[in-house]
Structure 1
Amino acid sequence: MTTLHTPRLTLRPITPDDLPRVLTYRNDPEVARYQAWALPATLDSVAGLVSDQPLGAPGWVQRAVTLRDGTVLGDVALNTQGPQAEVGVTLARSAQGHGYAHEALHALITHAFTDLGLHRVHASIDPRNTPVAVLLTRLGFRHEGTSLQSYRHRSEWTDDALYAVLAAEWTA
């Protein structure tokens, strides 16, 4: 199981003990607004986030984002498909605006390129989620395009903005 460390954070597998906290922030309407999971989230629906799969295993692999004292702030995810992967991040509202998402994603993406040898990492977001668009741009992602009204989300047609960065760009 892959665990990553930054100056302030640990990215570690989500455990069953974390699930009540995960359930709380995933049911916050502001946190869930641009996320794809069904609401309300239930213990059964978040139980699938508990996994002993290493980062880089095919499909979505989640990691709890915790302070060094163990406080769960949110989670990050890597969805590896061959030499590429999609990333995602979810933080409790109280953890937003402190640079934790930047720090956690930076560690995750560095791991993806350096340790896993991936070629490309991308993120798909609702373009109304301006803070995440700014975050991805600050991390060095480029906006590759937006598909207009390309999927139904919470009873409305929603745009989908694609951001990506290549390994050669990241390591430069």
Structure 2
Amino acid sequence: MRLTTERLVLRPLTAADAPAFAAYRSDPEVARYQGWEAPFSLAQAEEFVRDVGAADPTAPGWYQFAIEVGGVLVGDVGVGLHENGMQADIGYTVATAHQGHGYATEAVRRVLAYLFEVRGLHRVSAECDARNVRSVRLLTRLGFRQEGHRVQHTWIKGEWTDDLLFGLLAAQWRATAD
């Protein structure tokens, strides 16, 4: 599975990506609102890359796209396809050094186009820590609607956090893509 944009290549993660993957996931600023702890070891990265590298992007479960710019791994986009094959969850991570260039927006937009226009999904959902303002802006910019706010819902990294729930329907996607 390989998707492209003007600046990006979205492709499967490979064993060669593990060191860069471990490096950006070890950054405390990158990990702050995510479900993993920093540091993220090379062994953890190798195992993760091995597991998701073998995944089928058309089968239910999680699939991870590497975000590559000029041959450099700058982040990843995860898609969790539901068992019904008609909806998915999405998540994304970009290395600190590569944030602020629109790569996350461009990558997620391309993955959404694939999910809605090629795969024919009905709905894509996303969830984020309410304090993650940049993620909220990205989702809103791409047409997601905030559908919920779960107060002190998740115990993570020694504190209770609020979760925001977002959704995007295929019909909404088509309306904004025209």
Q: Distance in 2 between matches of 1:85 and 1:33?
A: 24
Give the letter for the 2:10 counterpart: L
Shift of 1:136: 0.4
Check conservation: 2:105, 2:138, Cα contact below 8 A. yes
Deviations 1:118-152 (A, max 9, x none): 11001000010000100100000000011011111
Give the paired residue count. Answer: 170
For the pair 1:78 / 2:82, whether they are aligned, the reply is no
Query: Residue 5 of structure 2 corresponds to which residue in structure 1?
Result: 6
DSSP 3-state at the match of 1:48: helix
Check conservation: 1:3, 1:10, Cα contact below 8 A. yes
For the pair 1:56 / 2:58, whether they are aligned, the reply is yes
Query: Residue 22 of structure 2 corresponds to which residue in structure 1?
Result: 23
Write 1 or 2 for the structure with the bigger share of helix: 2
Shift of 1:41: 1.2
Shift of 1:117: 1.2
Q: TM-score, normalised by structure 2?
A: 0.92
Identity of matched residues, %: 46
Long gaps (5+) in structure 2:
none
For the pair 1:160 / 2:163, whether they are aligned, the reply is yes
Q: Distance in 2 between matches of 1:45 and 1:159?
A: 27
Deviations 1:75-113 (A, max 9, x none): 111000021111111000011010000000000011011
RMSD over aligned CA atoms reads 1.1
Q: TM-score, normalised by structure 1?
A: 0.95
User: Residues 78-97 of structure 1 correspond to what in structure 2 (within 5 A)?
Assistant: 78-81=79-82, 82=84, 83-97=86-100
Runs of 4+ aligned structure 1 residues displaced above 3 Å come to none
DSSP 3-state at the match of 2:171: helix
